[in-house]
Amino acid sequence: MAAHSAVLSMSKIINPFWGGRLGNTVKCCTLSSMQLITYEMLMLQPPPAKYGGRHTVTLIPGDGIGPELLNHVKEVFRFSCVPVDFEVVHVNSALESEDDINNAITAIRRNGVALKGNIETNHTMAPSVKSRNNLLRTSLDLYANVMHCQSLPGVQTRHKNIDIMIIRENTEGEYSSLEHESVSGVVECLKIITRNNSLRIADYAFRLAREKGRSRVTAVHKANIMKLGDGLFLQCCREVASGYPDITFDSMIVDNTTMQLVSKPQQFDVMVMPNLYGNVVSNVCAGLVGGPGLVPGANYGRDYAVFETATRNTGKSIAGRNIANPTAMLLAGCMMLDHLRLYDYASMIRNAILTTMNETRLHTADIGGQGTTSEVVQSIMRNIQSKGPLTTDL
């Protein structure tokens, strides 16, 4: 009973501080509808359109294949007359100073939404030079990383009928970047788990499951070994689960999870987990549905949202060769359009992408085809032109 009321009171606090994506479907019993509307109007909307009905979105090209894929996104958006302007902020990963990434963070604070490529972390540099991507996520408190893995009918994979949503805690856990060398030759790395963040991510997972009509949430952990840390995470998940009796909750140890994923991935529905296990599980799932070029990912915080590919690869080896798969980045762009409430544009572009996926000869090399990036993008644009209301010239 105490846990239940704790969850309800937690919902009162969490509800308004929630990414705008899920705002319209909240049916929380703790707030009256009057309060709900007020909160929604004040807190949950995406930032207002800047000028003439057009949104401004920060674009961070990153390294490797990021710049070329984001150029394609810009191309497709311009072609489809999407009312979005991009503010490009370059981040040079070779420099040691953090000015670049701080500029990017300021730009995102200003615009509220960003689309980014992955920024490379050169780990031969001194350990004080932290990962730029991580810095971005923690500064903007983008606490939830959401990834939806679905088997696409046009892509050949070993496993079929996969439909898993992965919600990964994005700011703490093993990625706290707190390390020290206590004695020469002995390094300690701290993994931090907090009650607040665990409750927050669990609540996000259950709300998302409810909104999407999912029936089961699985928490992935290693609480048999890390009794206090993952034990706390699991306990928080259980507390939140008690407030959602319509959704089944179970838990699974991470090594068993990976084993089950490669043999029977169809058993999973929604999964929630701390940071590092999220990294492993999301990459395994991305591999199961066809590779890093197909799955988009989103990072949601209270006030900001950043969209990117789910597996966050720089793809240095395929950069500049016109063979990268643009699907993931384009679908990430569609997720961004959904976030900005430009639903029509989002579904138009998404349908065009899925139609192109099903024409096998227009697959890029990573999914077994021979097409080039530009061919795929052209096909998508042709598709948009044939279906869509208004486009520029091809």
Partner 1 sequence: THTHTQSWVTLVLLYVMDATTDYFHSMQTVTLIPGDGIGPEISSAVMKIFEAAKAPIRWEERNVTAIKGPGGRWMIPPDAKESMDRNKIGLKGPLKTPIAAGHPSMNLLLRKTFDLYANVRPCISIEGYKTPYTNVDLVTIRENTEGEYSGIEHVIVEGVVQSIKLITEDASRRIAEYAFEYARNNQRSSVTAVHKANIMRMSDGLFLRKCREVAEGYKDIKFTEMYLDTVCLNMVQDPTQFDVLVMPNLYGDILSDLCAGLIGGLGVTPSGNIGANGVAIFESVHGTAPDIAGLDMANPTALLLSAVMMLRHMGLHDYGNKIQTACFDTIRDKKVLTKDLGGNSKCSEFTADICRRIQDLD
Q: Which is nearer to partner 1, 33 or 128 (CB)?
A: 128
The SS3 assignment for 236 reads helix
> What six digits make up the tokens of 118?
């992955």
Q: Which is nearer to partner 1, 174 or 338 (CB)?
A: 174
Under 8 Å between Cβ of 144 and 201: yes
The least distance separating partner 1 from the CB of residue 259, rounded to whole angstroms, comes to 4
> What six digits make up the tokens of 146?
């959401």
Q: Which is nearer to partner 1, 72 or 222 (CB)?
A: 222
Nearest alpha carbon to residue 168 among 190, 139, 137, 214? 137
Nearest alpha carbon to residue 40 among 62, 61, 54, 24? 24
Q: Which is nearer to partner 1, 23 or 292 (CB)?
A: 292
Residues in touch with partner 1 (CB under 8 A) = 121, 123, 127, 129-131, 134, 158-159, 174-175, 177, 179-181, 185-196, 222, 225-229, 232, 254-256, 258-263, 276-277, 279-280, 282-284, 286-288, 291-292, 311-313
Q: Which is nearer to partner 1, 177 or 242 (CB)?
A: 177
AA identity, residue 196 = N
The least distance separating partner 1 from the CB of residue 323, rounded to whole angstroms, comes to 16
CB atoms within 10 A of CB 72: 22
The least distance separating partner 1 from the CB of residue 369, rounded to whole angstroms, comes to 15
The least distance separating partner 1 from the CB of residue 330, rounded to whole angstroms, comes to 20
The least distance separating partner 1 from the CB of residue 26, rounded to whole angstroms, comes to 26
d(CA 241, CA 4): 9
Q: Which is nearer to partner 1, 26 or 328 (CB)?
A: 328
AA identity, residue 165 = M
* Cα–Cα separations (whole angstroms), residue 116 to 91, 162, 200, 205, 306: 11, 27, 24, 24, 7
The least distance separating partner 1 from the CB of residue 134, rounded to whole angstroms, comes to 6
How far, in whole angstroms, is CA 242 from its chain's centroid? Answer: 26
The least distance separating partner 1 from the CB of residue 263, rounded to whole angstroms, comes to 5
Give the burial string for 238-250 (b: 16+ CB within 10 Å, else e): ebbbebbeebebe
Nearest alpha carbon to residue 91 among 136, 60, 118? 60
Q: Which is nearer to partner 1, 176 or 391 (CB)?
A: 176
> What six digits make up the tokens of 262?
């490669």
The least distance separating partner 1 from the CB of residue 213, rounded to whole angstroms, comes to 28
Q: Which is nearer to partner 1, 311 or 379 (CB)?
A: 311
**Placement of tokens 């240095």 in the chain:** 316
d(CA 190, CA 199): 20
Nearest alpha carbon to residue 257 among 223, 221, 230? 221
Backbone region of residue 189 per phi and psi (left: phi > 0; alpha: psi in -120 to 50; beta: other values): beta
Q: Which is nearer to partner 1, 266 or 347 (CB)?
A: 266
> What six digits make up the tokens of 355?
């139609």
Beta strands 113-116 and 216-221, pairing class: unpaired
CA torsion angle 375 378 380 381 (round to 10) = 180
The least distance separating partner 1 from the CB of residue 107, rounded to whole angstroms, comes to 23
The least distance separating partner 1 from the CB of residue 130, rounded to whole angstroms, comes to 7
